[in-house]
Copies of this chain bind each other. A is one copy, B any other.
């Protein structure tokens, strides 16, 4: 399942910028992969690309219309449908990470068939994955693990990949969630994989590679988040990471969606994640810490990061605020 590029980003009638975070992610991390944005009347979001009609985007080479926005109430509105059907008639493939599937819409499925177009529902796996065999693979792997869900694991891996590209190093971001898959055009939607095949899907996603190549595996969930910890566990054991990055957001009062569950400390995360990772890769090390300091002032953020460094003896950075350079330095030292 490789999504054809370049993209036209469908922003629909997004009420605000937050609703367009998939489009924003593509814009931030694969700026060369989108030729423009398509907005409906009343759209309250924009990702700084030229507004284009379907015809203009086609002329600019776009192959896939990517739904870069969440829909309301889990249904495709009539306004959306009209554009999606027109896009199929113009020969675009469609790609979506929404819970409600393109393929389940009879009119879209018929139009895709009639026009020889593909419908990419990245919500669901497109492969039959094997059961994990645990064999050591060539190449190196880095995984971001978090004290909680949604603390910046994807962002950290993408920022490290970008920095490694700038340095001319061999690196590949490996997407394990819907947004990451739409950003890169391929990956495994791990939360939708059947339990027995989770770790095998991660092995499949991160195969043998050059000895000096790094897979930067997108993390999911948290070992401390009781709803999703099994997915995190499978990522660690399937990914066989050589290096772990600990990710944290310092202002949460409780685990996301779990009132009554406090966040672990970074030390607790290190002390749980490392022995688990060493089951699959005894050489695994924790090499750095990534903190989402968005809620802190500049000096507060610097003080917080310095405090972690002093306590834990590891580089601690906010890669969005200060760049991922020191995390990549740490990887290069492995």
Contact = CB atoms under 8 A, between A and B. Distances in A.
Interface stretch (A35-43, A50-58, A66-74, A126-134): A126-134
Interface string A223-244: 1101111111110011000000
A230 B261 contact: no
Interface of A: 131-135, 190-196, 198-200, 223-224, 226-234, 237-238, 255, 257-258, 260-261, 264, 272, 275-276, 279-280
B192 A192 contact: no
Given A275-B272, A276-B272, A134 B193 contact: no
6 contacts: A194-B195, A199-B229, A226-B237, A226-B238, A229-B279, A230-B230
Given A134-B227, A230-B230, 7 more contacts: A191-B196, A194-B195, A195-B234, A196-B228, A226-B279, A227-B237, A229-B233
Contacts of A190: 195
Contacts of A131: 227
Contacts of A228: 196, 199
Given A134-B261, A233-B233, A192 B199 contact: no
A330 B261 CA distance: 28
Nearest to A136: B260
Contacts of A226: 132, 134, 199, 237-238, 279-280
A131 to B, nearest CB: 5
From A134, A198, A226, A279, name the one whose CB has the most chain B CB atoms within 10 angstroms: A226
A121 to B, nearest CB: 15
B191 A193 contact: no
A193 B194 contact: yes
A280 B228 CA distance: 12
Contacts of A258: 133-134
A192 B196 contact: yes
From A223, A230, A238, name the one whose CB has the most chain B CB atoms within 10 angstroms: A230
A220 B177 CA distance: 26
A23 to B, nearest CB: 24
Contact of A195 (B230, B272, B276, B279): B230
Ordered nearest first, which 8 A-B pairs have the shortest CB separation?
A230-B234, A226-B237, A233-B233, A230-B230, A132-B227, A191-B196, A230-B233, A134-B226
Contacts of A231: 195-196, 230
A123 to B, nearest CB: 11
A14 B192 CA distance: 36
B272 A198 contact: no
Contacts of A200: 227
Given A132-B226, A227-B133, A193 B192 contact: no
Nearest to A280: B226
A230 B199 contact: yes
Contacts of A223: 233, 276, 279
A272 B194 CA distance: 25
Nearest to A279: B224
A271 B133 CA distance: 25
Contacts of A255: 134
A282 B110 CA distance: 54
